[in-house]
Amino acid sequence: MKQRLSTLITSLVQTDHSLPDTYVSGIALHSNDVKEGYLYIAIQGTKFDGHDFIPDAVSKGASAVITNGRDLGDLPIPQIKIANPRRAASILAAAFYGHPSKKLTVVGITGTNGKTTTVSLLTSILKSHGFKTAQMGTLGLIADGYPQQKTLTTSDPVSLHKTFSDLLQNDFTHVVMEVSSHALHQLRVADVDFNLAVFTNLTPEHLDYHGSMEEYYHTKSKLFQTLPITATAVVNKDDAYGEKICSDCSAPILTTSVSSKNDIHFQHVQTSATGISGDIQAGEHIYQIESSLIGRFNLENILSAVASAHAMGIPASAIEAGIRDCHVIPGRMETFTTTTKGTVIVDYAHTPDSYEQVLSTIRGLSQGWMSVLFGVGGDRDASKRPIMATIAEKHADFCYIAPDNPRWEDPSVLNNEVVSGFTGESYQVFLDRGEALKTALATLKNGDVLIVLGKGREEYQDVRGEKIQYSDIKIIQSYCV
């Protein structure tokens, strides 16, 4: 795939007839990804400035470079100066790959909690109806015929549009994807043509990045503010920010609610240790739901998925089968039984709200001893660290504190900030997460429950810029039958 540079950049600037007749064979946002003939886009990030790596890109064969206009001296390749290279990256990636999202049905799901579960449920529904559907998000790319690839929750625009193009060429018709607040703020999805957008909820998270809840909301709302009138928004109206989303969105809206009968809602519902059952009413349509997912918070996720499928005109039989067939969301309330007949539940929960929902649900279902292993990430919102301990202490009989992606912070300092939230002494602190997990597993007896929070199915610890191989799941499996 090659394009003339002059043709490719017409969506950004007027054609510069002084440009040499150069072809672009690819686009790179990092100098390490540059190959012969690539267009290198220099973006200033939070830690590194891509402009500093232009010499490296040139040495690797870049055919041209896009910059923010800063003085770089004479370059041996064309330099196109753009006020916002980050915005340019999205525009050019979409153009280079032929705007593939226009030819797909793309659903974007955003919110603090519930994104992955809602994406998985809706993907299951679409597959039940026979659509060749890909899932993108925290679990990576999940698509038939593709190896599962772990990426950012939402990929950079070049990777994203290349993936759309590949999926389109392989006859995929639908993509259901998580859309993170970072992706919205950094314009990674600015040129994705969404047919449907879903809002799950908004609770404090990433405030170290966004600065305030208002700014966090403003970033999330961009997905809905930019929806065309031909798209549809599905909004959880039970969340306080759901009402604001409805006010800020000009596209048609479907609202969901666990409590209100005016929206898409459960006519009646039963929750238990084995799952959720009930009937969902959407206008004149009734959907009979049987799900093995547990916890009242999953009522919201199921409603969002059903409402989305309803908006897309999916028949009841496929909606009901899709919900029924989605048994386990990897890393979300995933259950294991140890050789001692203890139960281990792994969940990716990493916000105060998700802690409260997960731990209160399990406490309500468990009659035995309940312990929790958790930690907090480094270089992230520090204000929530003691809050995590307060919530865990409220529900658990004992807590194990251990590192969870300390990044560039000292794990002992992170642990101390967590411990400051405890009022009692029913906890033990570790600097090694593996040691903490093995200690917790060794104490499990028949009827006991251990909840392991934070990492889900991650396979690494992020320590001082290095991804060190580590898996909670593998350690837990070694204690199981």
Judge whether 296 lies within some domain.
yes
| Host domain of residue 249 | 100-325
According to DSSP, residue 274 is labeled T
Judge whether 283 lies within some domain.
yes
Judge whether 56 lies within some domain.
yes
CB distance 207 to 380 below 8 Å: no
Of 305, 325, 345, which residue constitutes the final position of a domain?
A: 325
CATH number where 348 lies:
3.90.190.20
Strands (E) in 78-182, as ranges, are 79-81, 105-110, 133-137, 140-142, 174-178
Angle, helix 240-248 to helix 213-225, in steps of 10 degrees: 40
Cβ-based neighbour number of residue 316 at 10 Å:
16
147 and 32 both lie in a single domain: no
Q: Which two tokens stand for residue 366?
A: 């468990």
CA-based R_g, the chain, Å: 24
316 and 184 both lie in a single domain: yes
7 and 117 both lie in a single domain: no
299 and 253 both lie in a single domain: yes
Rounded-to-integer distance, Cα 159 and Cα 106, Å: 16
308 and 340 both lie in a single domain: no
Rounded-to-integer distance, Cα 460 and Cα 458, Å: 6
316 and 358 both lie in a single domain: no
128 and 21 both lie in a single domain: no
Query: Which residue(s) pair with 176 in the sheet?
Result: 107, 135
Judge whether 203 lies within some domain.
yes
287 and 401 both lie in a single domain: no
Residue with tokens 């969105």: 249
**Domain count of the fold of the chain:** 3
Q: Which two tokens stand for residue 211?
A: 């600065």
Judge whether 91 lies within some domain.
no
Of 46, 62, 85, which residue constitutes the final position of a domain?
A: 85
End-to-end CA distance of the chain: 51
Residue type at 397 in one-letter notation? D
201 and 58 both lie in a single domain: no
Tell which residue, 86, 118, 51, has the closest CA to residue 308.
118
25 and 140 both lie in a single domain: no
CATH number where 75 lies:
3.40.1390.10
Rounded-to-integer distance, Cα 231 and Cα 422, Å: 47
194 and 235 both lie in a single domain: yes
Judge whether 449 lies within some domain.
yes
Assign 165 to helix, strand or coil: helix
Strands (E) in 157-221, as ranges, are 174-178, 196-199
263 to 239, 253, 256: CA distances (angstroms): 13, 11, 5
The per-residue pLDDT for 71 is 78
Of 85, 120, 138, which residue constitutes the final position of a domain?
A: 85
CATH number where 234 lies:
3.40.1190.10
321 and 462 both lie in a single domain: no
Assign 380 to helix, strand or coil: coil
CB distance 303 to 291 below 8 Å: no
Q: Which two tokens stand for residue 277?
A: 């059952």
Judge whether 95 lies within some domain.
no
How distant is the alpha carbon of residue 480 from its chain centre? 29
Contacts of residue 400, defined as CB under 8 A and 6 or more positions apart, other chains included, come to 371, 372, 373, 374, 427, 428, 430, 436, 437, 439, 440
Residue with tokens 């772990």: 150
According to DSSP, residue 426 is labeled -
Judge whether 196 lies within some domain.
yes
Q: Count Cα neighbours of 29 within 13 Å in the Cβ-side half-sphere.
A: 20
**Mode of pairing for the β-strands spanning 26-28 and 140-142:** unpaired
Assign 130 to helix, strand or coil: coil
Per-residue confidence in pLDDT tens, the chain, 481 aa: 788 888 888 878 765 556 777 889 999 999 999 999 999 999 988 778 999 999 999 999 999 999 998 878 888 999 999 999 999 999 999 999 999 999 999 999 999 889 999 999 999 999 999 999 999 998 889 999 988 766 666 789 999 999 999 999 999 999 999 999 989 999 999 999 999 999 999 987 776 676 788 888 999 999 999 999 999 999 999 999 999 999 999 899 999 999 888 889 999 999 887 899 999 999 999 999 999 998 888 999 999 999 999 999 999 999 999 999 998 888 888 999 999 999 999 999 988 989 998 999 999 888 889 999 999 999 888 889 999 999 999 999 999 999 999 999 999 999 999 999 999 999 999 999 999 999 999 999 999 999 999 999 999 999 998 999 999 999 999 999 7
**Positive or negative torsion for Cα 247, 249, 254, 256:** negative
| Total count of residues recorded for the chain | 481
Q: Which two tokens stand for residue 256?
A: 């969901």
Q: Which two tokens stand for residue 326?
A: 């989605």
How open is the CA angle 111-114-115, to the nearest 5 degrees? Answer: 65
Strands (E) in 380-453, as ranges, are 398-401, 427-429, 449-453
How distant is the alpha carbon of residue 362 from its chain centre? 24
CB distance 188 to 154 below 8 Å: yes
